[in-house]
Chains A and B, each alone.
Chain A
Amino acid sequence: MRGARSAKWVAGAIGVALVASACGSGDDNSGSGGSGDGGGVFTVDSGEPQNPLVPTDTNEQYGALVIDNVFANLVDFDEDGELVYTAAESIERNEDGTEWTVNLRDGWTFHDGEAVTAESYVNAWNWAANISNNQKNSYWFQDIEGYDEVHPEEGEATAETMSGLEVVDETTFTIALKTPFSYYDYKLGYNPFTPLPSSFYDDPEAFGENPVGNGAYKFASWERERKITLEAYEDYQGDNAAQNDGVELVTYTNLNAAYQDLLSGNLDVIRQVDTQNLPVFKDDLGDRAISQPYMANQTIVPVFYSETWEDIDPQVLQGLSMAIDRETIVNTVMNGSVTVATGFVAPGAKGYEENAGGEVMEFDPEKAKELIDEAGGVPGNAISIQYNSDGGHEAWVTAVCNSIRQATGVECTGDAKPDFQTDLNTRDAQEVKSMYRGGWIADYPLNAAFMKELYGTGSSANTGFFSNEDVDQMFSDGDSAASLDETVAAYQDAEKELFELMPAIPLWHQQVNGGFSERVSGVTFDPSGQPVLTDVTVD
């Protein structure tokens, strides 16, 4: 994935926005050739999941592709970022957004036949939030009341369950939150918020190799390092039932190998074309090529603990932003594989505003120089951009630097770290010299997801250490707003404010550059960049 190698490791994509086209499932599913051990089965390129296949322990894209399809989320999202209820019948909030009531749909079962009840959810969340169960996504439950007892900062858990979760009846449960959270239902669309069957607790380890979920696909088999097979679940109750008989997720360590397989008809869906084939894949595949942005962005982030940026006038950063010729870089160096950003929020998220950044995001070398000179220039007249050299970032970092140098005369260099681990390490240790390459994938398609965790004071993903009281206030106003529309509006105001303060310089949004073979149709990608498997039909 060009420009987002880091994303590979961190991309715990959000729930599939199963844009349920809900058409009749009487399709002719007689497949042929290739992978077939039965009609209607198709293949998708993937990789070996890094973690056990438990929803609360999966936060990278390969595992997420399995979890997204084996488990059904409470809610999913459509292409405009609007909520679509999947396993939930409705999710209601109280006035200030501190208490949420989830009503489940009737008649749902796990793949082993057990009924999905409110308890299946509550028990699963309590188990996952408990610090001793070592779930990577445990912090997703941190807004719930009583989380601190099961997941203390230090030491053992002092309670088994979170006091904020309460089962009302068979299909209803309530969630009490510590603080107002006006868009908690958006959070509920992420896959840690799924139920687990009671068989899970007997042997979580075995479950991680053979998960039993409530989703449109049943987990069939896992041939380690080779492929994972999913079968359509016949008793699936949701609107987004599978239009095919099943899918094989084939492990590739080399994206070019996957592309070659696609060309020769051995692979049906490719999620990302590798760098070397990007210039030709549209010619090769014709209308079977897919390019669409998903909810992720690439930014360069100044570290506010450094001498250069400590007391900087934001106008300097605005100037630097205007010195970058994004359009040209995207079309030449990046081969059009990403979408030029005009704001912090990616298109497709609710609350996305076109040209949110206004002229700050436009290339204007003269204005750029003027702004910088007027504000006293960059201290030392030099900046550097830290990046990991194992992710294919070098080319664009060099191009961005050239653009800045030519437009403003500010000396700009790339600061290469050998791999992503080293890059992260430097950020954690607060040893970034000037700026770093920031990649972010939003967890749910709402404008807040692009701002709060990155630029709120003390947020753990805020490794540039930007801090501004007004912005924090705007965020918390948004979080406690009386309706979702007000939340969105509050964050839209915050986005404008951020362009005055420049906690980061947005560059572009990541894009799916994928394709599919001649034997499948109906291939689409969701806002998190994952293919919508249920909609694929095999011809």
Chain B
Amino acid sequence: MGRYVVRRLLQMIPVFIGATLLVFLMMYALPGDPVRALYGERSVDEAQIAAIKAELGLDLPLMQQYWNYLLGVFQGDFGTQIASRRPVMDVITQALPATIRLTVLAFLITVVLGVGMGLVAGLRRGGKTDRAILFVTLIFISVPVFVIGYAYQNFFANTLGWTTPTVRDPEAWTQLILPAMVLASLSLAYVARLTRTSIAENARADYMRTAKAKGLSRPRAVTVHLMRNSLIPVVTFLGVDIGNLMAGAIVTEGIFNVQGIGSAVYRALSFREGATVVGIVTFMIVIYLVVTLLVDLLYAVLDPRIRYA
């Protein structure tokens, strides 16, 4: 187990270097010059542009720029923004907590509501509750997230007045509930349907009959035997889904004005702030890798047949 974890962690190094290089090259390939763009449609001052570029090292050959960037990263310096002259690390640490909070909250909603609904539906397959849940999840799957977002915003904030239409303080969990519900809606529907199928299938498995025959109470049979076996595909899905939630957060953040990673990366992209984009994307990749590792380890807990050497 320990060796497995170490190996996985070591694998992250080439992924890290590859990802930064790729994003770096992509930013470079985009048309547009971030320093020139500071002047927009106004008069351009070539001499000043050259001076700014020289100071930031943007006049060096591409590979040298990348090498300087990597050197900096290993010393904990993710570079400086071109326009604001802020350290990129500041921008990331400013934006990341809001997105992580939103993602975690959405993830919790997905797990609790999704698995809960799936469990109820699966146990009462074909019943009225089952059909109702199937119908609701169908709506979540078919309606685009931004439509749900605007609908919730309009209904819960403007019509009912239960909450504010936008998030003023991303540190307040209560303000994040509405956007998290929107963000979670699609995953929630998938998880519910996945759980339902899995539960419904396993409910008729031999081990369930055995459990019943040896006199286990139904709640215990369901929670310990049925759930544990049925959740393996769901856990796989949830692991992958963390990445989707973080990416999907960009749309939700826009609707509810959460100043998270989504808006930060969008702004950085439109200003061609290469270092910022590379930094943020790299951070997200690392988070994604760590989460996938955790999910893989969780398999072993759920299914003793899986062993990691």
Measured CB to CB, the residues of A under 8 A from B are 6, 9-10, 12, 48-52, 59-60, 131-132, 134-136, 138-139, 151-154, 205, 208, 224-226, 250-254, 256-258, 260-261, 263-264, 266, 390, 419-422, 424-426, 428, 438-440, 453, 459-461
Additional A-B contacts beyond A260-B165, A425-B33, A426-B31 (19; CB < 8 A) = A9-B37, A59-B39, A134-B48, A208-B85, A224-B90, A251-B257, A252-B257, A254-B255, A260-B153, A263-B165, A266-B164, A421-B37, A421-B270, A425-B32, A428-B36, A439-B41, A453-B43, A459-B43, A461-B41
A225 contacts B43, C-beta separation under 8 Å: no
Which residues in chain B, 79-97, are within 8 Å of chain A measured between CB atoms? 83-85, 90, 94-95
Q: Which residue of A lies closest to B37 (CB)?
A: A421
Inter-chain contacts of B264 with A (CB < 8 A): 225
Q: Which residue of B lies closest to A252 (CB)?
A: B257
B271 contacts A50, C-beta separation under 8 Å: yes
A264-B40 contact given A132-B51, A253-B257, A421-B270, CB 8 Å threshold: no
Q: Which residue of A lies closest to B153 (CB)?
A: A260
A260-B51 contact given A139-B45, A225-B95, A421-B272, CB 8 Å threshold: no
| Interface membership of chain B positions 39-68, coded 1 if the CB is closer than 8 angstroms to chain A and 0 otherwise | 111111111100110010000000000000
Q: Which residue of B lies closest to A227 (CB)?
A: B168
The docked-state distance in angstroms from the alpha carbon of A256 to that of B158 is 13
Inter-chain contacts of B257 with A (CB < 8 A): 251-254, 257-258, 261
A6-B32 contact given A253-B266, A254-B254, A266-B164, CB 8 Å threshold: no
Inter-chain contacts of B39 with A (CB < 8 A): 10, 59, 136
Pick 12 A–B contacts, CB within 8 A, sort by A. A9-B37, A9-B271, A10-B41, A10-B42, A48-B259, A52-B85, A154-B47, A225-B264, A252-B257, A257-B255, A261-B165, A264-B157
Q: Which residue of B lies closest to A421 (CB)?
A: B32
Q: Which of B32, B38, B85 has the most CB of A within 10 A?
A: B32
**B176 → A minimal CB distance (Å):** 14
Q: Using a Cβ–Cβ cut-off of 8 Å, how many residues does chain B contribute to the interface with A? A: 50
Inter-chain contacts of A12 with B (CB < 8 A): 42
**B44 → A minimal CB distance (Å):** 5
The docked-state distance in angstroms from the alpha carbon of A256 to that of B95 is 21
Q: Does B233 interact with chain A (Cβ within 8 Å)? A: no
A134 contacts B33, C-beta separation under 8 Å: no
State the 10 A-B residue pairs at the shortest beta-carbon distance, nearest first.
Answer: A10-B40, A421-B32, A260-B165, A257-B257, A225-B259, A139-B45, A253-B263, A460-B43, A422-B31, A425-B31
B270 contacts A420, C-beta separation under 8 Å: yes
Contact among A49, A205, A257, A422 for B254, CB-based, below 8 A: A257
Inter-chain contacts of A420 with B (CB < 8 A): 37, 270
A6 contacts B41, C-beta separation under 8 Å: yes
| Interface membership of chain B positions 231-270, coded 1 if the CB is closer than 8 angstroms to chain A and 0 otherwise | 0000000000000000000000111110100011011001
The docked-state distance in angstroms from the alpha carbon of A436 to that of B30 is 20
Contact among B41, B48, B154 for A139, CB-based, below 8 A: B48
Inter-chain contacts of B254 with A (CB < 8 A): 253-254, 257
The docked-state distance in angstroms from the alpha carbon of A420 to that of B255 is 23
A261 contacts B166, C-beta separation under 8 Å: yes
Inter-chain contacts of B32 with A (CB < 8 A): 419, 421-422, 424-425
The docked-state distance in angstroms from the alpha carbon of A9 to that of B259 is 19
A260-B166 contact given A6-B41, A10-B42, A50-B83, CB 8 Å threshold: yes
The docked-state distance in angstroms from the alpha carbon of A66 to that of B143 is 41
Contact among B38, B153, B255 for A59, CB-based, below 8 A: B38
The docked-state distance in angstroms from the alpha carbon of A9 to that of B84 is 14
A460 contacts B44, C-beta separation under 8 Å: yes
B158 contacts A424, C-beta separation under 8 Å: no
Q: Does B18 interact with chain A (Cβ within 8 Å)? A: no
The docked-state distance in angstroms from the alpha carbon of A52 to that of B83 is 8
Q: Which of A264, A420, A426 has the most CB of B within 10 A?
A: A264
A260-B94 contact given A253-B254, A425-B31, CB 8 Å threshold: no
**A512 → B minimal CB distance (Å):** 19
Measured CB to CB, the residues of B under 8 A from A are 30-33, 36-48, 51-52, 55, 83-85, 90, 94-95, 150, 153-154, 157-158, 161, 164-166, 168-169, 253-257, 259, 263-264, 266-267, 270-272
Q: Which of B161, B259, B272 has the most CB of A within 10 A?
A: B259
The docked-state distance in angstroms from the alpha carbon of A6 to that of B83 is 17
The docked-state distance in angstroms from the alpha carbon of A420 to that of B272 is 11
**B34 → A minimal CB distance (Å):** 8
The docked-state distance in angstroms from the alpha carbon of A134 to that of B47 is 10
**B59 → A minimal CB distance (Å):** 13
Inter-chain contacts of A59 with B (CB < 8 A): 38-40, 42
Q: Which residue of A lies closest to B53 (CB)?
A: A134
B43 contacts A138, C-beta separation under 8 Å: no
Inter-chain contacts of A151 with B (CB < 8 A): 47-48
Inter-chain contacts of A253 with B (CB < 8 A): 253-254, 257, 259, 263, 266-267
The docked-state distance in angstroms from the alpha carbon of A416 to that of B146 is 25
The docked-state distance in angstroms from the alpha carbon of A185 to that of B164 is 46
The docked-state distance in angstroms from the alpha carbon of A54 to that of B36 is 19
**B33 → A minimal CB distance (Å):** 7
The docked-state distance in angstroms from the alpha carbon of A277 to that of B36 is 33
The docked-state distance in angstroms from the alpha carbon of A220 to that of B52 is 29
A461 contacts B48, C-beta separation under 8 Å: no
Inter-chain contacts of B158 with A (CB < 8 A): 260, 263-264
Q: Which of A6, A138, A261, A439 has the most CB of B within 10 A?
A: A261
Q: Which residue of B lies closest to A154 (CB)?
A: B47
The docked-state distance in angstroms from the alpha carbon of A222 to that of B38 is 22
The docked-state distance in angstroms from the alpha carbon of A473 to that of B126 is 86
Inter-chain contacts of B44 with A (CB < 8 A): 428, 460-461
A136 contacts B48, C-beta separation under 8 Å: yes
Inter-chain contacts of B154 with A (CB < 8 A): 260
Contact among A50, A153, A154, A252 for B84, CB-based, below 8 A: A50
B84 contacts A461, C-beta separation under 8 Å: no
Inter-chain contacts of B263 with A (CB < 8 A): 225, 253
Inter-chain contacts of B150 with A (CB < 8 A): 256
The docked-state distance in angstroms from the alpha carbon of A420 to that of B37 is 9
B48 contacts A266, C-beta separation under 8 Å: no
A424 contacts B43, C-beta separation under 8 Å: no
The docked-state distance in angstroms from the alpha carbon of A154 to that of B256 is 48
The docked-state distance in angstroms from the alpha carbon of A136 to that of B84 is 12
**A15 → B minimal CB distance (Å):** 16
Inter-chain contacts of B85 with A (CB < 8 A): 52, 205, 208
